């Protein structure tokens, strides 16, 4: 694994990155760097945009409300996340923030909120979801940005399910078995995956019937204890990454 620099501040920007480029910072970014962290002229930090890799940059304050970055040299080439979708029933506020951050840390490429019959929250603040995804990437040395997709009903998300993406349906009602063996068997030959975590109240019978008709799908037990949705997300993604994803080296 590449040795990462966690001593430098990291910042996600939207502009293209190349040697000699100048990147104007938003007011919020300027306030954080200049007024909160009190970084001065020529302070070095790392920047990324999810497309052009990671770069070292120098800060150029332009007063208390504006600043720019001078892009100096590339430190890492662009990396890409595994082709792993994370489908989840939205939670409320802080627990949704936590779940989004952990999914990004675990390497999910897409965050896909799905509305089930027992979903706690019917509306999702997508900007807040994106902000949490970016914050997790900034803090953990990730330079690929997870895509945040608009919420949709579970039925719509499952319609015309692609035959080349294995759906890993985490089901508290599934028979308790060895999840590693189940994933290894079901995942053979696949390179695209999706993990589905339901709401706190679980799936209703009509949703279970719908999921039973999806192909390819594997019902996965996460052990003998019922987990909260945010805990289940971490457990399931860790299992998938270990058996099928990029934790295998």
pLDDT of the residue at 233: 93
Q: How far apart are alpha carbons 116 and 45 in whole angstroms?
A: 42
Answer yes or no: do 47 and 98 share one domain: no
Which pLDDT band holds residue 1 (cuts at 50, 70, 90)? low
- Specify burial of residue 123 (Cβ count, 10 A radius: 0-12, 13-18, 19+): exposed
Does residue 2 register a pLDDT over 70?
Answer: no
Does residue 138 register a pLDDT over 60?
Answer: yes
Answer yes or no: do 98 and 214 share one domain: yes
In the block, which residue shows the tokens 């709401």? 199
Render pLDDT for 85-132 as a digit per residue (tens, 0 to 9): 999 999 887 889 999 999 999 999 999 999 999 887 778 999 999 999
Taking residues 174-180, report their average pLDDT. Answer: 87
Render pLDDT for 153-169 as a digit per residue (tens, 0 to 9): 999 999 999 999 999 99
CATH no. for residue 158?
3.40.1280.10
Q: Total domain count for the chain?
A: 2
pLDDT of the residue at 236: 96
Render pLDDT for 178-237 as a digit per residue (tens, 0 to 9): 999 999 999 999 999 999 999 888 899 999 999 999 999 999 999 888 899 999 999 999
Answer yes or no: do 62 and 163 share one domain: no
The least confident of 47-51, 54-58, 149-153, 172-176 is 172-176
In the block, which residue shows the tokens 């600043």? 67
Which of 19, 42, 76 terminates a domain? The answer is 76
Answer yes or no: do 63 and 153 share one domain: no
Exposure of 65 in the CB half-sphere (CA atoms within 13 A): 0
Give yes or no for a contact between 90 and 119, defined as CB atoms under 8 angstroms apart: yes
Give yes or no for a contact between 118 and 54, defined as CB atoms under 8 angstroms apart: no
Which pLDDT band holds residue 176 (cuts at 50, 70, 90)? confident
> Is 118 part of a structural domain of the chain?
yes
> Is 2 part of a structural domain of the chain?
no
Answer yes or no: do 172 and 141 share one domain: yes
Answer yes or no: do 117 and 203 share one domain: yes
Answer yes or no: do 235 and 118 share one domain: yes
Which of 49, 76, 103 terminates a domain? The answer is 76
Domain interval for residue 60: 10-76
Q: How far apart are alpha carbons 196 and 1 in whole angstroms?
A: 29
Which of 36, 56, 76 terminates a domain? The answer is 76
Which pLDDT band holds residue 248 (cuts at 50, 70, 90)? confident
In the block, which residue shows the tokens 């589905």? 196
Q: Which residues partner with 113 through β-bridges? A: 88
H or E, element range at 14? none
């Amino acid at each position: 694994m590449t040795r990462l620099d966690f001593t430098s501040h990291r910042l996600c920007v939207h502009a293209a990155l190349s040697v000699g480029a100048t990147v104007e910072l938003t007011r919020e970014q300027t306030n954080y760097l200049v007024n909160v962290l009190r970084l001065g002229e020529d302070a070095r930090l790392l920047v990324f945009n999810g497309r052009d890799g990671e770069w070292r940059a120098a800060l150029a304050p332009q007063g208390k409300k504006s600043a720019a970055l001078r892009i100096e040299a590339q430190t890492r080439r662009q990396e890409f996340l595994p082709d792993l979708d994370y489908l989840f029933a939205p939670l409320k506020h802080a627990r949704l923030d936590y779940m989004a951050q952990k999914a990004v840390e675990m390497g999910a490429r897409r965050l896909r909120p799905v509305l089930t019959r027992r979903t706690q929250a019917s509306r999702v603040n997508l900007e807040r979801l994106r902000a949490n995804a970016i914050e997790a990437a900034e803090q953990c040395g990730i330079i690929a940005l997870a895509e945040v997709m608009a919420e949709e009903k579970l039925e719509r998300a499952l319609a015309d399910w692609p035959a080349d993406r294995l759906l890993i349906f985490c089901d508290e009602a599934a028979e308790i078995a060895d999840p590693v063996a189940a994933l290894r068997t079901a995942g053979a030959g696949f390179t695209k995956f999706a993990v589905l975590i339901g709401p706190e109240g679980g799936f209703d019978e009509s949703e279970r019937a719908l999921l039973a008709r999806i192909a390819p799908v594997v019902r996965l037990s996460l052990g003998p204890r019922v987990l909260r949705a945010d805990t289940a997300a971490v457990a399931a993604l860790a299992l998938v990454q270990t058996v099928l994803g990029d934790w295998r080296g």
